[in-house]
Structure 1
Amino acid sequence: MFGFPTATLLDCHGRYAQNVAFFNVMTEAHHKYDHSEATGSSSWDIQNSFRREKPEQKSPDSKTLQEDSPGVRQRVYECQECGKSFRQKGSLTLHERIHTGQKPFECTHCGKSFRAKGNLVTHQRIHTGEKPYQCKECGKSFSQRGSLAVHERLHTGQKPYECAICQRSFRNQSNLAVHRRVHSGEKPYRCDQCGKAFSQKGSLIVHIRVHTGLKPYACTQCRKSFHTRGNCILHGKIHTGETPYLCGQCGKSFTQRGSLAVHQRSCSQRLTL
């Protein structure tokens, strides 16, 4: 477009008046063309000169780039606290709340706060009773998609989490984490009252009831209360007459596994005499 000496600045202004930025570029080009007659520069030289003098685009900080494949550079966002990188700025913002402790999403029912809006939505189903995820096998419903996925493994028998020490498998990762403490001897849950430690949080909760005297599970038949749900269920078999634990040596049956174990020891001693 720079190769026409008869073209005037006014012509270009009339053609590109709606693009002020382009008009400014053309003004500079015309200025160079006018001086080219004195220097003997060709229109080709002026075009190349204009291309060379285009302002270079600033490259993003090298810390925010990574090369995924040849010729493709992907922006990444790096946490200044731990160095972890993310491909989306929103993911970095969410991650940074781990360090700051910020939990901007608060439940209007109980006041509990969360780092992510999705976690708040899932939590609120506790109050609303909503369970949108239903098992196709048995119809049982769940408030979380992950809980449904774990439940479905009951039907499929899938246990994808395996202990590297004893090769025992589990349906979910949390059960595997608890099991590993059998090998490590780790007991991270300690009672503030007596100092006794436990490998599982649930075991500590049950233990604390010994100190508080709390017995939240009551028998529907006689109203007797118990520290744990399991003990309440075992007690209920007294009323139903159910005795599922059978001694293989003498045939006597019991309502509780512990009672059977005690009986079997005495039964074995009698047989050896």
Structure 2
Amino acid sequence: MPMGRQSINQTGDFEKHMRIHAVDKPYQCDVCGKIFNHLGNLQTHMRTHTGDKPYKCDVCGKVFNVRGNLQTHMRTHTGDKPYKCDVCGKAVSQRDILQNHLKIHTGDKPYECNVCGKAFILKGTLQIHMRTHTGDKPYKCDVCGKMFSQKETLKAHMRTHTGDKPYKCHICGKAFNQRGNLKVHMRTHTGDKPYKCDVCGKAFMRKDTLQMHMRTHNGDKPYECDVCGKAFIQTGGLRTHIMTHTGEKPYKCDVCGKAFRQTGNLQTHMKTHTGEKPYKCDVCGKAFSITGNLQTHMRTHTGEKPYKCDVCGKAFSVTGNLQTHMRIHTGD
């Protein structure tokens, strides 16, 4: 008798094991009709109908309907990651996570969208992607009614209502409501700028910032003013511009009452009250409250005069001086 069969017979499990290979599955669910080859599997399955979750985590209280799921969950508390990638050495807590991870190395993307052809490693990711075509948003916020295509996006959104910010920077202590925002923030400490412009080589910390920057090269200005037709690269630029029509100046100085359209202008203005001059000339030591003023001042040392008269060719270091000079030619 083969050693494998003898070993199974000794434990009394041979008959049970053979049902895996046999067509016969004698245990059927009375609710949905699904059939099983082991009684224990049927009993576990029944919990999907009854909602019974007898296995409880002693640490956080979360409950599960299968003991194996509890054992896997416990690794979130212990940090145990027994499954290791042979290619890059990354360790994970579950076997199926490792199997999916390996597809990153093999390039295997078996799940393809039949609308646009985009392929994915995970079936679940394809299902989520399909919502970009169908417009399906099954997850609804109970507070404001906003709809989302992904459960995780809804969870992150709920933090805007609760104020919960579970992702904290270990360097400066700043907290965020999304893990991705913390990841981007960390680049302010590391200096990492992974998104590079193919045209001019300028690098950025954020992908969306690079996308906006590209408009300076392709001339794309998708945000247009309904009043005068002026177009802008960024929606923020359009919002600020609209205030020139409405007269709105929402940012007000607490000291003198002067109002501004942009918060940056208010911050600059506040330095006139505090006397703060953080921008210092490396040549003569003169300090300025605005970086632009320092740049203009530096021309007194370099002799640079970038503003040139188109009529007579005279050059100036400050654009205002050129504008004054032009009156000689216009007679204004």
Task: Compute the TM-score of the two structures, normalised by the length of structure 2.
Answer: 0.57
Residue 197 of structure 2 corresponds to which residue in structure 1?
135
- Change in 2 beyond 3 A, CA 1:250/1:153: closer
Correspondence for 2:143 among 41, 62, 81: 81
Give, in angstroms, the shift of residue 102 of structure 1.
1.2
Mark the structure with the bigger radius of gyration: 1
Q: Secondary structure at the match of 2:228?
A: coil
State the 1:139 CA deviation.
1.5
Counterpart in 1 of 2:188? 126
Match of 1:203 among 242, 248, 265: 265
1:110-121 map, 5 Å: 110-121=172-183
Q: How does 1:182-201 map to 2 (within 5 A)?
A: 182-201=244-263
- Residue 231 (structure 2) aligns with: 169
Residue 187 of structure 1 aligns to a residue whose secondary structure is coil
Corresponding position of 1:60: none
Residue from 225, 232, 255 that aligns with 2:287: 225
Checking the alignment, whether the CA contact within 8 Å between 2:137 and 2:147 is kept in structure 1 is: no
Please list the CA deviations of residues 222-251 of structure 1 after superposition, one character each: whole Å capped at 9, or x if unmatched.
Answer: 111111111111111111222333456776
Per-residue CA shift, 1:78-101, capped at 9, x if unaligned? 222112222332222111111111
Structure 1 window deviating more from structure 2 (216-225 vs 82-91): it is 82-91
Distance in 1, matches of 2:187 and 2:312, equals: 51
1:19 aligns with 2:27: yes
1:25-64 Cα shifts (integer Å, max 9, x gaps): 9xxxxxxxxxxxxxxxxxxxxxxxxxxxxxxx9xxxxxxx
Counterpart CA distance in 1 for 2:25 and 2:218 is 70
Q: d(CA) in 2 for partners of 1:20 and 1:260?
A: 90
- Corresponding residue for 1:93? 155
TM-score, with structure 1 as normaliser: 0.68
1:108 to 170, 179, 194: 170
Change (3 A) 1:75 1:257: closer
- In structure 1, the partner of 2:218 is 156
Return the letter of the residue paired with 1:130: D
CA distance in 2, matches of 1:91, 1:245: 50
User: Which consecutive residues of structure 1, in runs of 5 or more, have no partner in the other structure?
Assistant: 1-14, 26-56, 58-67
Q: Structure 1 residues 135 and 75, CA, compared in 2 at 3 Å: closer, same or farther?
A: closer
Partners of 2:308 and 2:269 in 1: how far apart? Answer: 29
Residue-by-residue CA offset, 1:176-199 (whole Å, 9 max, x unaligned): 111111111111111111111100
Shift of 1:220: 2.1
Of the structure 1 ranges 114-123 and 94-103, higher mean CA displacement relative to structure 2 is found in: 94-103
**1:123 is aligned with what amino acid?**
H
What is the aligned length?
A: 211
Q: Which residue of 1 aligns with 2:316?
A: 254
In 1, the alpha carbon distance for the partners of 2:311 and 2:151 equals 68
| Larger relative contact order (CA 8 Å, sep ≥ 6) | 1
Find the counterpart in structure 2 of residue 61 from structure 1. Answer: none
Which amino acid letter does the alignment assign opposite residue 219 of structure 1?
C
The one-letter code sitting in structure 2 at the alignment partner of 1:244 is P
Please report how far the alpha carbon of residue 146 of structure 1 lies from its aligned counterpart in structure 2 after TM superposition.
0.6
What amino acid does structure 1 have at the position aligned with 2:303? G
Determine helix, strand or coil for the equivalent of 2:157: helix
Q: Percent identity at matched positions?
A: 46
